[in-house]
Structure 1
Amino acid sequence: MKSNIATAEVAVPYAGALMSLAQSKNLTDHFGEDVRSLLSLLSESEQLQNFIANPFVSVEDKKAVINRILGDGANAYFRNFLMLLVDRKRILLLEPICQQYLALLRQLKKIALAEVISAVPLTEAQQQAVKEKVISMTNAHEVEIDTKIDRELIGGVIIRVGSQVIDASLRGQLRRISLRLSGA
């Protein structure tokens, strides 16, 4: 279920169709919650990923598992969308479709996604400072932070928002000093 260019090209129209459906029924946020839950479940369970991607598993078995995962409280439109993916043998694209839907939702709501890589977990105050910095950079209404820990940074943070990168890590500063010294 790894994403590549061809996969992304197929996922985009499905995510767009899901967004259109969500907008027509005024369920964009509700679908966003369902999509986040599915992505979380997929990232936690390699067994589920393998089951969904397995071409030898019958359509009925895949539908039964999806129905069990969604439970009784799931939105009927969202459930039907997933069943359509199974019928069209596109369920193996579930992860990229969900990621693309979240990207469309962020675009619709003017939410910036900031990937923050730090040596240690950020405090609430540090996360708020990152959000304020990103809002000033992007003019977004809100900021969603995706944090990752990389002990090799030594200290500081790297913030990625779209194609913009702010490298305020000690590792980055040492690299820049090294480049200046070697160029001098």
Structure 2
Amino acid sequence: MSAGSISRRYATALIELADDKKLLDKVGQELAEFHALLLENAELRDLLENPSVAVRDKQSVVRELASRGSFSTIATHALIVMIDNQRLDALEDIIREYTHAVDAKKGVLRVVAVASVALNKTHVMKIRYVLQNLTGKTIEIDTREDPDLIAGIRLHVGSLVIDGSIQSQLRNLKHELLTAN
């Protein structure tokens, strides 16, 4: 079974359980917190990935950390199952699949808006308004700066990129000039 389908199966099961308990956001946040902890703490990561450490010892560590973080039973049990099935390395993919599925369920579309300078609230509101009218979805915008764009904006909407930057226009012009001869 491919890693993507495994991640989707875990995410789907988690969504069914979390939705029944009205904990969709909480479970996603808890899994992300645990993943961040793994990224920050090499000692913890090494312990949980070490095949010579007994599964029950790994489970005990996860239960203790989940208890300290006041994790839901659903998130705690999911992490335990991942340890049992040696799937903790898929946690990042599971979180990504979970987030995409929850967003789809809630009608949320996440957009990354990249501009050469920081976008003000008015620009963000206009982008949100246009995209909400086009898609009929709730728009969540993450803004970033990239001085290389010179001017304009690049929107990343899922796998779609809408590039209205000067950098892109110059690149297209260069291509047209080079292919004109």
Bin the TM-score by the shorter chain: 0.7 to 0.9
SS at match of 2:162: strand
Query: Gapped runs of 5+ residues in structure 2?
Result: none
In the superposition, relative to structure 1, how do residues 104 and 122 fare at CA in structure 2: closer, same or farther (>3 Å)?
same
Counterparts in 2 of 1:76-91, with a 5 A limit? Answer: 76-91=73-88
Matched pairs, number:
178
Residue 124 of structure 1 and its aligned partner are, at CA, apart by 2.6
Aligned mate of 2:40, from 22, 42, 45: 45
8 A contact 2:115–2:147 mirrored in 1: yes
* Residue identity matched to 1:45: E
Counterparts in 2 of 1:8-19, with a 5 A limit? Answer: 8-19=4-15
For the pair shown, the structure with the greater C-alpha radius of gyration is: 2
User: Separation in 1 of the partners of 2:87 and 2:118?
Assistant: 37
Residue 117 of structure 1 and its aligned partner are, at CA, apart by 2.5
User: Separation in 2 of the partners of 1:38 and 1:72?
Assistant: 9
Task: Report the identity percentage.
Answer: 29
In the superposition, relative to structure 1, how do residues 36 and 121 fare at CA in structure 2: closer, same or farther (>3 Å)?
farther
Residue 151 of structure 1 and its aligned partner are, at CA, apart by 3.2
Aligned mate of 2:58, from 54, 57, 62: 62
What is residue 155 of structure 2 aligned with on the other side?
A: 159
* Residue identity matched to 1:121: A
* Residue identity matched to 1:117: V
User: Separation in 2 of the partners of 1:167 and 1:59?
Assistant: 49
Aligned mate of 1:128, from 114, 125, 130: 125
Query: Gapped runs of 5+ residues in structure 1?
Result: none
Aligned mate of 1:29, from 16, 25, 28: 25
In the superposition, relative to structure 1, how do residues 72 and 50 fare at CA in structure 2: closer, same or farther (>3 Å)?
closer
Residue 52 of structure 1 and its aligned partner are, at CA, apart by 4.2
In the superposition, relative to structure 1, how do residues 162 and 66 fare at CA in structure 2: closer, same or farther (>3 Å)?
same
* Residue identity matched to 2:40: S
In the superposition, relative to structure 1, how do residues 110 and 175 fare at CA in structure 2: closer, same or farther (>3 Å)?
same
Residue 130 of structure 1 and its aligned partner are, at CA, apart by 2.4
User: Separation in 1 of the partners of 2:46 and 2:116?
Assistant: 32
